[in-house]
Amino acid sequence: MDGKRRATKASVVQLIELLTQAANIPSEFSQDDPLREAVKTQVKLAAYCNEERGIVGCSLNTFKALACTLGEGFTGVEALRIKAEKALSRRPRPRVANSRRDLQEKKASLQKIIASQDRDLQQLSLVISEMKSLCNHLVDLNLIDRKAYYELEISRINQMLQKRRK
Domain boundary among 62, 89, 116: 89
For residues 84 and 108, membership in a common domain is answered with no
Tell me the residue range of the domain where 122 lies.
100-165
The C-alpha angle 125, 131, 132, rounded to 5 degrees, equals: 90
Q: What pLDDT, on a 0 to 100 scale, did the predictor assign at position 143? A: 75
For residues 21 and 81, membership in a common domain is answered with yes
Q: What pLDDT, on a 0 to 100 scale, did the predictor assign at position 118? A: 93
* Listed residue (82, 63, 78) closest to 12, CA to CA: 63
Q: What pLDDT, on a 0 to 100 scale, did the predictor assign at position 91? A: 64
Domain boundary among 40, 63, 89: 89
For residues 52 and 130, membership in a common domain is answered with no
Domain boundary among 67, 89, 111: 89
* Listed residue (53, 45, 48, 72) closest to 10, CA to CA: 53
- Quote the CA–CA distance of 87 and 102 in Å, as a whole number: 29
The answer to whether residue 116 sits within a structural domain is: yes
For residues 79 and 127, membership in a common domain is answered with no
For residues 54 and 15, membership in a common domain is answered with yes
Torsion of CA 9, 12, 14, 15, to 10 degrees: 170
The answer to whether residue 95 sits within a structural domain is: no
| Residue 125 backbone zone (phi > 0: left; psi -120 to 50: alpha; other: beta) | alpha
* Listed residue (40, 31, 99) closest to 48, CA to CA: 40
Q: How many domains does the chain have?
A: 2
One digit per residue, pLDDT tens: the chain, 166 residues? 566 667 778 888 889 898 999 888 888 887 888 888 889 988 999 899 988 888 888 888 888 888 888 877 888 889 989 999 998 887 655 566 678 888 899 899 999 999 999 988 998 888 888 888 888 777 777 778 878 888 888 888 888 777 765 5
The answer to whether residue 94 sits within a structural domain is: no
